[in-house]
């Protein structure tokens, strides 16, 4: 049930947010993870 609720909320957010913004957020997340991983190593 937790998975269903999280998927539904994510679906609603992605639907309300323009695709351009979603792509930017994903790109930022990838950059942030890459920086943190490099910093840790």
Q: Are 24 and 31 in contact (CB under 8 A)?
A: no
Q: Are 22 and 14 in contact (CB under 8 A)?
A: yes
Q: pLDDT tens, 1-41? A: 555 555 555 555 555 667 677 788 788 877 777 766 665 55
pLDDT at 27: 80
pLDDT at 22: 79
Largest CA distance in the chain: 37
The 8-class DSSP code of residue 17 comes to S
Q: Which pair of tokens denotes residue 4?
A: 């269903």
pLDDT at 31: 75
d(CA 33, CA 23): 15
């Amino acid at each position: 049930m937790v998975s269903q609720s999280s998927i539904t909320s994510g679906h609603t957010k992605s639907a309300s947010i323009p695709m351009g913004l979603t792509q930017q957020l994903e790109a930022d997340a990838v950059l942030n993870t890459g920086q943190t991983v490099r910093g840790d190593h």
